[in-house]
Amino acid sequence: MTEALALRGGEKVLEIGTGSGYQTAVLCTLGASVRSVERIPELADSARARLTDLGFAPGLRTGDGTVGWPEESPFDRILVTAGAPEMPISLLTQLREGGIMVVPVGGEREQELFVVRREEGFVKRTRICSCVFVKLVGREGW
C-alpha cells in the first residue's frame, strides 16, 4: 500500500486508521506530512505517545475516519487501512487533483485493494489485489 502511494517526499498524506502508529511512522520517515485519524481513543492515545517518543510529529485526531479531515484538505495522498463497503465519497472529495488514494473496498470477508487517481476531473481506479481488512466503521463505512 505504501509503495502504491508513489511518495517522492513532501506530500501531504491523510491516513485513515492510525492503529499502533507504525504506518504513520513509515510515512513520516518517507518525508510525508501526515494527518492521521483513528476512531478508537485508546489506540489514538497510545499511538500519539509512541510517535512522540520516536520523534515524529504527525497531526493526529480521534474521530470518524470515513469522513476524513475536511479542514486539512486537500491531500496529495490518502491511505485507508480498513475495508470500506463502497468508496468513501468524503475521502475522494478531499483528494487533490493529481492525487492518489489507496483503499480496500468490498464485502465484510474480502475486499479488493484499489489505487484511485484524480486526473483531469475524472476518477480512475486500478485494482491491485484481493485482500482482507478490518471494517472501516463510520458514517461512510460499516
Please tell me the total number of residues recorded for the chain in this structure: 142
Tell me what the pLDDT averaged over the chain comes to.
97
- CA-based diameter of the chain, in Å? 41
**What is the set of domains in the chain, with CATH numbers?**
3-131 (3.40.50.150)
- 86 touches 112 (CB < 8 A): no
The Cα-based distances of 53 to 24, 39, 59, 84 in angstroms read 13, 21, 15, 32
Other CB atoms within a 10 A radius of the CB of residue 40 amount to 14
- 135 touches 141 (CB < 8 A): yes
> Quick one: pLDDT at residue 121?
86
Give the model confidence (pLDDT) of 76-109 as tens digits: 999 999 999 999 999 999 999 999 999 999 999 9
Give the model confidence (pLDDT) of 117-140 as tens digits: 999 989 999 999 999 999 999 999
What does pTM read for this prediction? Answer: 0.96
- Give Cβ neighbours of residue 94 (< 8 Å, ≥ 6 apart): 14, 68, 69, 70, 73, 74, 75, 78
Cis status, amide bond into 104, omega within 30 of 0: no
Other CB atoms within a 10 A radius of the CB of residue 70 amount to 10
